[in-house]
Chains A and B, each alone.
Chain A
Amino acid sequence: MTGRPFRPVRRRKQSSERVVGVPAPLWLPASCALGLIVLPVLGLFARVDPAGLPALLTSPAALSALELSLRTAVTATLLSVLLGAPLAVVLARARFPGTRLVRGAVLLPLVLPPVVGGLALLYLLGRTGPVGSLLDERFGLTIPYTTTAVVLAQTFVAMPFLVMGLEGALRAAGTEYERIAATLGAGPWLTFRRVTLPMLLPALGSSLVLTFARALGEFGATITFAGSLRGTTRTLPLAVYTEAQADVDAAVAMSLLLVGVALLVILVARPGGVQGRG
């Protein structure tokens, strides 16, 4: 024991709360993960030729693809809400045999490669498919390789995000408020409109953003089911893919458009509430 004086640990200047420590071995892989996410996007920016960019961004091909993308993604999102929100309520509230099976089915588009989804849609709704042939004979409707097909492909892939987001929120909210509403004399439909739905709005917002983002980025199902026809089915991701084989600068410019929309989505909506926290 030497005479080294015992000194208290030096306090920080401000009395801030001590953060729970992160174990040292985690920092390296965490940094790599972040790099893997951020660096490619930065690389994209590095590839940009600033002089030619405005012209590329406003080229007819880019603008038509952007317009088509926004139009189809918005439609797909609306369709997802109209069909997916009721499905979420059913999954969260109804009890029937096979609920688990149905919930599993809803997850299918999330785990299935989109190309396979597109192929499945093609064989169902294609001219020779069981439903497609019916539509063709009865109503003269052909769906594959049309803008409608784009919307259906996007809905197929994106709707699960909405269903899962809303279902999670409904479960988190529980049924207590609905029970209270019933004791106040409100029937199921009134309770749904005046209690369930308004309380679901925050979660609906964040789920909508995710759904829209997923629809906007859809590629695999679209290209198999709708093809890549300029003006009718060539959305922005498809245009990027097409251009990447011929004119890389144009592809990069269109990619920037998508990055911009994605950043906007993150900034505006912060899809952190997807798990129902709203």
Chain B
Amino acid sequence: MAEDRNPAPEGEGRVTWNGEPRPGDDAPDGLSAELRVPRSTFTLDVDLRVPAGEVLAVLGPNGAGKSTLLSALTGSVLPERGRVRLRERTWLDTDRGIDLPTHRRSVGLLAQRAMLFPHLSALDNVAFGPRAAGTRKRRARRTARDWLERLGLGELAGRAPARLSGGQAQRVALARALAADPDVLLLDEPLSALDVDAAPAMRGLLHRALGAQRGPCVLVTHDVLDAVVLADRVLVLDEGGVVERGRTGDVLARPRTAFTARVAGLNLVAGRATERGVELAGGRLRGHVVERVDPGAPAAATFSPTAVAVHRARPEGSPRNVLAVRLVGIEPRGDAIRLRGEHGPPGSGVALAADVTPSAVAELGLGTGEEVFFVVKATEVAVHPVSDG
């Protein structure tokens, strides 16, 4: 329970629909949530605030609790303990037995798949929200047409969902969510089911649409690009808990967990700080200390995959950092080839990446499962402090 530090005068004496007089709120225009949801493999334990007009990206590996978080916000999962508030309205308060059903929360959802109602045209799909709000059919359709046109989908109005491409369907689904005029917009991996050609256009559309949104927005994604393009702030979940949060740029520039580093495109190796680097279980990494870290304190070294040279044999007498790595993946990444490797014991080692040229891969004759050496200059390695726990 957060204390009421700044009672909002406009909230005084006002009675919300559920008869609850609201004193103040710590996110007066936005969404605030504290949730605890036990699941079979983890327990989601999260608190978050999203001011009006802001987009919060929730990043995290699979099974980190991202979907559970959204389900708790929409109301399809009842948390063991929790509180969700939007402005002066309480959606959920397990202590006081308040639990608004989904349809009274005014929460728009754009999911992975468009899930357009198959028996309704694109136009009537978009008109569904206004109709549910009690608007007459003709006016609801006019609103729907406006939204379709605003998103550049005017010519699709009469189409049946079965006759839309994946990208088109997802855009219509966005129009449908926006036309319902939700107080909060939730996006659940909205680009992950689209093919590579459709995703950039949809991302651009979302960028414009979210920029125009007045309410708070929560975006669940595993793609850091979505967070960079769409979100003001980032929250990183792992095994149900918040491991990082902050402004998108800050978090991605200085990732503190392996997951964030990986999605941010950086290598991250955690260990104990030394004077000029990081002490690992199997060696040490020398680098430049970005922020002061006490020797012996938890620290992380980060370096870009493009700064890594790959060798077949251990380079002798090199002043550079040398990490023995077992290759676990080779995949194209733009013009380069990304080598994904593991340093340390199989399965529990540190995930590392190196970007090399295709010709280098051919020259070295690399294949997955092989032992190679990742070599990186100390000047390319940045050392950050890491919070305990």
B-contacting residues of A (Cβ < 8 Å)?
176-177, 179-188, 190-191, 194-195, 198-199, 201
Contacts and interface: CB of A to CB of B under 8 A. Distances in A.
A198 B119 contact: yes
B176 A184 contact: yes
Contacts of A183: 74, 102-103, 107-109, 177, 180, 182, 186
Contacts of B368: none
A176 to B, nearest CB: 6
Contacts of B133: 185
A199 B108 contact: no
B346 interface: no
A242 B186 CA distance: 68
A182 B105 CA distance: 9
B115 A182 contact: no
Contacts of A185: 103, 106, 129, 132-133, 180
Interface residues of B, number: 26
B180 A184 contact: yes
B117 A195 contact: yes
Interface string B323-340: 000000000000000000
B20 to A, nearest CB: 21
B118 interface: yes
B75 to A, nearest CB: 8
Contacts of A179: 74, 76, 102, 109
Contact of B118 (A186, A190, A191, A199): A199
Closest 6 CB pairs of A and B: A182-B102, A186-B132, A184-B129, A185-B132, A183-B109, A198-B119
A239 B103 CA distance: 55
A184 B132 contact: yes
Contacts of A177: 115, 117
Contacts of B373: none
B133 to A, nearest CB: 5
B107 to A, nearest CB: 6
Nearest to B179: A184
A22 B103 CA distance: 52
A194 B128 contact: yes
A93 to B, nearest CB: 13
Contacts of B204: none
B128 A186 contact: yes
B111 interface: yes
A181 B128 contact: yes
A179 B101 CA distance: 11
